Amino acid sequence: MPKNEIAIHLKDVKKVYKLYRKPKDRLLDAFGLLRGKRKPGLNYALKGVSLDIKRGETVGIIGTNGSGKSTILKIITGVLFPNEGDVEIDGRISALLELGAGFNQEYTGIENVFLNGTMLGYTEEEIEKRLPQILEFADIGDYVYQPVKTYSSGMFVRLAFAVAINIDPEILIVDEALSVGDTFFQAKCFSKFEEFKRQGKTIVFVSHDLTTIAKYCDKVFLLNKGKLLGEGAPKEMIDIYKRVLVGQYDTGEEDGKAAVTEMQTALNPDTLEYGTRQAYVTDVYITDEAGRRTTTIIKGTKFGIHVNVKFEDHIPGPIFAFTFKDVKGTEITGTNSMLEKAYTECGEAGDVMDITFSQTMNLQGGNYLLSLGVTGFSGANFEVYHRLYDCLDITVVSDKDTVGYFDMMSEVTVTKR
């Protein structure tokens, strides 16, 4: 690839942190006076990472906590220096790494705008010229004349992002900062991302929001324990990431080789459950279209809800049910074995039944809570044997969301006459 096409180049980058038992050990080590058991431990945050980001790409970096995502962004922006390796940046960088990084708590919002602009290499006149659009984007009113220590976290990120995105950077770096903004502000920020993409600017961001990664990124880098596990299309990397999360991907690490095939799913500790327990759920898990256990489903793909139920008594015609709720508690959809005309035989004491609901995921991208039920009729009486509310948190990843809760999967044809 021609060098002038590369905006960010990292070659064999390593970053090692020393871990001290006591604060004074850091000082002693600086003078070479730390010996024996008091020698610091070593944390290898990055283990020889190499990557190239092309000019004009929107790139996401994903990985579990502690994988090195934030470290690599700080090295790209010059906040940290690698212990080994080469870093080459071609273009003016604007970064929003941590909430309020580079802001002076005692200064007003206006004063911090000029402070940050100066740190980014702009003259006072250049900042003055951009000030109206910065303040319009931040939209925090007269609070810009108050010390930022009085700001809410939402106001803080509004101003910080307004500065970062309106000083005409060639490369924009964002690390999870938008998670504290309100919905309307996030929409405005992503609209700005789209504008940047059209202008050929480079965007790099870290996020745990896989829907955002899938929707906006051209390429994704997957980090795991300080190593670059892979790079490629968003859906491909998200799929590998899902397998890493449940131990079903060979990461090359000793503790990452064993596939987890029979694990008990970790339920929400705040699950509400009740019932007579004459029949009860012993396990529940989700599988994706490849049959792998997961709690992350890509919209438009097949998935299964699997429920294991044990019987302690004679139960005539048990009914098995599930529902999805959004995080606000609104029931979105659901069904049961009776509605689906999947009538079951009686359950007897000691029986175990495996129930699978197979369907296509058409919910919009986001997080949902799964609830389950085992019910039935004893004569004319409706009986609840076991209900579990909000037992699993399910993430739906989408690169195209429509209006409302469901995607009708419409196909649009436009014919010019």
Instruction: Walk across the sheet containing 84-89 and list its strands.
Output: 41-54, 6-19, 84-89
Residue 219 lies in a domain: yes
Please check whether residue 354 is in contact with residue 308, taking contact to mean a CB–CB distance below 8 angstroms. yes
* Residue 220 included in any domain: yes
CATH code of residue 249: 3.40.50.300
386 and 290 in a single domain? The answer is: yes
Domain match, 215 and 87 both: yes
Say which CATH number the domain at 280 has. Answer: 2.70.50.60
Please indicate, yes or no, if residue 324 is contained in any of the structural domains.
Answer: yes
| One domain, residues 235 and 296 | no
The answer to the question of residue 191 being in a domain is: no
- 374 and 241: one domain? no
The whole model's pTM is what? 0.75
282 and 245 share one domain: no
Give the count of domains, the chain: 2
Same domain, 240 and 278: no
Judge whether 203 lies within some domain.
Answer: no
Structure tokens at 348: 């007897």
Q: Is 382 exposed, middle or buried (0-12, 13-18, 19+ CB in 10 A)?
A: exposed
Q: pLDDT tens digits, residue range 60-106?
A: 999 988 899 989 999 998 889 999 999 999 998 888 776 556 688 89
Write the CB contacts of 412 (distance below 8 Å, at least 6 apart in sequence).
none
Q: What φ, ψ does residue 145 adopt, rounded to 5°? A: -95, 5
Q: Is there a single domain that holds both residue 372 and residue 293? A: yes
Helices (H), 78-219: 109-119, 124-138, 153-165, 183-198, 210-216
287 is a domain residue:
yes
In a domain, 167, yes or no: no
Integer Cα distance of 98 and 26 in angstroms: 25
| Residue 360 main-chain phi, psi, to 5 deg | -100, 140
Distance, in Å, from the CA atom of 300 to the CA atom of 288, rounded to the nearest integer, reads 11
**Together in a domain, 299 and 248:** no
Are residues 222 and 79 located together in one domain of the fold? yes
**247 and 276, same domain (yes or no):** no
**What would the pLDDT profile of 296-347 be if each residue is shown by its tens digit?**
999 999 999 999 999 999 999 999 999 999 888 889 999 999 999 998 889 9
Note whether 219 and 74 are same-domain residues.
yes
* Burial 85-105, CB ≥16 within 10 A → b, else e: beeebeeebbbbbebbebbee
Residues 279 and 371 occupy one common structural domain: yes
Q: What residue numbers bound the domain in which 18 lies? A: 1-91+211-259
Residue 112 lies in a domain: no
Q: What is the mean pLDDT of each run of 10 residues along the chain (417 residues)?
A: 82 92 82 76 92 95 91 91 95 77 86 87 88 92 92 86 85 77 76 88 89 88 95 89 75 45 60 93 94 91 96 95 91 95 91 96 93 92 94 90 87 89
Tell me the C-alpha distance between 389 and 397, whole Å.
23
In the block, residue with structure tokens 């029931």: 331
